Homo-oligomer: A and B are copies of this chain.
Amino acid sequence: MSAASDVYKRQCKVVFVVGDFTTTIGDPTGKNKARPEISREKIESNMKTYLEQVGKILLTDEKSFSWVPNSDWFTSVTDINLPADSKIGFQVVHDGVKITTPVDPNTIVGKAIVFENTRKQVSEQTSVLRRQISVVTLTSFLWTLRHITHAQLIKRDMFQDRLAKNEDLYMHEMMYPVLQGIDSSVITTLYGSCDMEIGGTDQTFNMLMGRQIQEINKINYETAGVSSDLQAVVTMDILSGTDGVEKMSKSLDNYISIADEANDMYGKVLSIPDALIVQYFRLCTYMPMAEIEEVARDLEHGAKNPKDIKMRLAREIVAMYHGQEKALMAEAAFTNTFKHGEVPHDAAEVVITAGEKLIDVLLREHVVPSKTEFRRLIKEGAISVVETAEKIDTPDFVITKSANFRIGKRRFIKIVLK
């Protein structure tokens, strides 16, 4: 996203393509028909959360930023399935009177009315664009395929790996790069150009496919009066997660969120393995490359303590999202807690009745999300009393006196008996 930020500062518009259609297609438990109207609601809600995060880095006004789900062009009006008793109406104005005529929901016209209305609800401004673009149909998809050879697709390393291992390669998987490439072409039509695509190094093949599909469509771009320049392709290293093993991902719970509180963010950055320090400096900060190389040399020759370098990294990152002041406060809180064994001054404090179970308190206060997670923490010896460092070793632990508890590395709770 830092790269996108650089781009928008150069007066370009940033467009996020949400691959909701390609995700549905890729999902092995998929049903016969995608249900665009349902998944759209989910996308809208996901995007809302996402936009809050994006807003911390990018301007999100309409001139600088836009997002579109690719189901907008890949899903057909015919994919809409409505219950037979749906009430669909076509509104006409006659002599100044509004008349609504019912339309059979199982006809193409019925589906088309629903399709248009749904698009309208998203945003009156973008819906005009969406209603006018040439949607990708089976016909136009096959037209694209006639310009792409088997040899070209099959050479993709991922496909070659599968074949070498004698693992099944399904035909919809082979279509993936083509579908993603079409995204760039649709963005060109929708916004007048698609000058640059930014993605992870794992997307290089797909993004170059975007260039090829723009090339194929040049003649159509001329008719549509949009730019026929091929997109530049910018690839970024994939950011590793805090575990140092997998790529950063919410579902693997090895992530640092832009929306994390300053203290959490600081602590999470400190928890990364030393081997990731340079990568994080490169991908997550605006520090000049020359300085980063210096950091790398210092680490290699043991000139500096990795912990100190990580603290600088954590300060840099927290400052980007919360400002310099909060970064320094997070550092102070961390130092207090971990260097001096203190409970952070902003730890939650709850007053309970003697005899309550620890699990019930932690669940009620949302310190742990579930009993399963609680049991896992107990098993790992990750819950302890701060004052005595005594590890809690039973899930049925009952609180008999006031104490501060430490849960995992960075969660604390002050429990006071009334």
Contact = CB atoms under 8 A, between A and B. Distances in A.
B143 A30 contact: yes
Interface stretch (A45-53, A76-84, A325-333, A346-354): A76-84
Interface in A95-123: 99, 101, 106-109, 111-113, 115-116
Contacts of A21: 139
Given A33-B143, A92-B90, A107-B131, A150 B138 contact: no
A31 to B, nearest CB: 8
A115 B109 CA distance: 9
20 contacts: A25-B139, A33-B134, A76-B76, A76-B135, A76-B139, A77-B112, A78-B134, A79-B137, A79-B139, A92-B92, A94-B94, A109-B116, A111-B112, A137-B137, A137-B138, A138-B138, A145-B171, A146-B171, A150-B171, A171-B178
A32 interface: yes
Interface string A18-29: 000100010010
Contact of A76 (B94, B116, B138): B138
A30 B175 contact: no
A77 B141 contact: no
B150 A169 contact: yes
Contacts of A171: 145-146, 148-150, 153, 174, 178
B168 A146 contact: no
A44 B148 CA distance: 33
Interface of A: 21, 25, 28, 30-34, 74-79, 90, 92-94, 99, 101, 106-109, 111-113, 115-116, 131-132, 134-143, 145-151, 153-154, 159, 163, 168-172, 174-175, 178, 217, 219-220
Given A109-B116, A112-B112, A131-B108, A175 B142 contact: yes
Contacts of A99: 92, 94, 99
B172 A142 contact: yes
A145 B170 contact: yes
Most buried by B among A90, A106, A154: A90
A103 to B, nearest CB: 9
Nearest to A76: B137
Given A79-B137, A107-B116, A143-B33, A149 B131 contact: no
B140 A30 contact: no
Nearest to A110: B112
Contact of A108 (B31, B94, B116, B170): B116
Contacts of A140: 32-33, 79
Contacts of A34: 139
A135 B78 contact: yes
Given A30-B143, A94-B99, A145-B175, A150 B170 contact: yes
Nearest to A74: B138
A75 B171 CA distance: 21
A219 B33 CA distance: 13
